[in-house]
């Protein structure tokens, strides 16, 4: 049987490479992007093809996705002002998955629900740690929870996992800006990258500093779980970076016109000097607190291969579509389509452990 065509835009990037490597045996993979030299070299290394794609040019984008059964968008950062890739894919009847972790981008994605249903297309956003993996962890905890009060999610990345530019720009974009948080059963405003605390992750991660992040979960979870409070905090292994972001947040509040994401490339270069310190250990933990104050948690943690966690939802969802067909039609966030057992089975061979308490 002929393999179906899957186009991975940004397929030679940090997460695109991991996704492509895990799908090359399941489909005819095309690596798409603007850097032809890098893209062709990577595509050749895994037995895939390369196609030039400038997503800012509608003709180039349409040509790149032509004939694709599925398009995976592994670029970023994902801004709510730019939906040209999913919109083009839906109009051309290509199933679509992206790794968006931008809260506004994911929240606005439902605007394509009607046309996706009309075109009979499955269009899914947020196929990443948040909200796909965090929802799977939360839904597993929900099975034995009576009287849910609060949901806390904490995420930490090991310092040796060099951040991608898109990730860094995304963090900088909301540092010091107002964030809506569901607290005491109502919406409250808090400041991005504020509310610092130290949290002890399961081994091998340990004690890490985390701070308030503006992620899709803050919109998605209040609609899916009847909780009085929902918080999401994240951080990196070395406190020098977490504390630096706290200072950037203060500057942003004092000078709202500052465009901090413009510092992304400089900070990415500076981070290279700190690569010898720290570890690859990282993970994500979801904590449920019931009405009696009793807490229970579920985590994915690892001493290595942490990037396999955010790349896993796109891989698992793509395999399902290729094997069984699209699970639905419409445009929606990536929740309910991958269960905890599927994540466990996929991640454990990479040394990523599922732990509960």
Q: What is the pLDDT of residue 253?
A: 83
**In contact, 8 and 31? CB cutoff 8 Å:** yes
The mean pLDDT values, 10 residues at a time, for the chain of 357 residues are 89 95 96 95 96 94 96 88 95 97 94 97 97 97 89 94 76 87 96 93 96 95 96 92 86 82 82 85 96 94 94 97 95 96 98 97
* CB-based contacts of 313, cutoff 8 Å, min separation 6: 99, 127, 128, 132, 133, 334, 338
Q: What is the DSSP secondary-structure string of 99-138?
A: ----HHHHHHGGGGHHHHHHTT-EEEE--SIIIIIHHHHH
Buried b (16+ CB within 10 A) or exposed e, 232-271: bbbbbbbeebbeebbebbeebbeeeebebbeebeebbeeb
**In contact, 120 and 329? CB cutoff 8 Å:** yes
* CB-based contacts of 262, cutoff 8 Å, min separation 6: none
Tell which residue, 174, 289, 286, has the closest CA to residue 229: 289
Q: What is the pLDDT of residue 1?
A: 53
Buried b (16+ CB within 10 A) or exposed e, 91-120: ebebbbbbbbbbbbbbbebeebeeebeebe
Strand pairing class (186-191; 178-183): antiparallel
What length is written for the chain? 357
Greatest Cα pair distance in the chain:
61
Q: What is the pLDDT of residue 161?
A: 84
Number of Cβ within 10 Å of residue 272's Cβ equals 9
In whole angstroms, give the CA distance from residue 355 to residue 57.
45
């Amino acid at each position: 049987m002929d393999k179906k065509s899957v186009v991975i835009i940004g397929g030679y990037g940090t997460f695109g490479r991991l996704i492509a490597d895990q799908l090359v045996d399941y489909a005819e993979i095309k690596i798409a992007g603007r850097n032809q030299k890098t893209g062709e070299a990577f595509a050749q290394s895994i037995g895939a093809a390369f196609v030039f794609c400038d997503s800012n040019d509608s003709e180039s984008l349409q040509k790149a996705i032509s004939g694709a059964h599925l398009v995976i968008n592994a670029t970023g950062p994902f801004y709510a002002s730019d939906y040209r890739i999913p919109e083009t894919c839906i109009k051309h009847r290509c199933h679509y998955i992206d790794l968006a972790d931008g809260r506004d981008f994911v929240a606005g994605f439902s605007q394509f629900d009607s046309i996706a249903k009309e075109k009979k297309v499955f269009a899914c956003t947020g196929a990443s740690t948040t909200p796909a993996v965090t929802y799977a962890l939360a839904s597993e905890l929900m099975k034995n929870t009576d009287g849910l009060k609060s949901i806390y999610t904490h995420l930490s990345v090991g310092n040796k996992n060099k951040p991608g530019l898109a990730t860094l720009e995304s963090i900088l974009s909301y540092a010091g800006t107002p964030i809506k948080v569901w607290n005491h059963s109502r919406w409250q405003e808090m400041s991005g990258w504020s509310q610092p605390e130290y949290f002890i992750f399961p081994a091998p991660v340990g004690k890490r500093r985390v701070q308030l992040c503006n992620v899709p979960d803050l919109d998605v979870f209040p609609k899916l779980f009847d909780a009085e409070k929902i918080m999401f905090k994240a951080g990196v292994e070395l406190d020098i970076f977490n504390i630096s972001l706290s200072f950037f947040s203060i500057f942003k509040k004092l000078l709202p016109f500052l465009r901090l994401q413009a510092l992304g490339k400089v900070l990415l270069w500076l981070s290279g000097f700190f690569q010898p310190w720290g570890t690859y250990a990282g993970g994500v933990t979801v904590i449920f607190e019931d009405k009696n104050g009793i807490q229970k948690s579920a985590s994915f943690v690892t001493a290595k291969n942490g990037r396999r966690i955010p790349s896993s939802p796109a891989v698992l969802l793509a395999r399902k579509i290729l094997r069984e067909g699209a699970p639905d039609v419409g445009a929606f966030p990536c929740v309910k389509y991958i269960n905890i057992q599927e994540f466990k089975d996929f991640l454990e061979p990479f040394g990523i452990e599922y732990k509960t308490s």
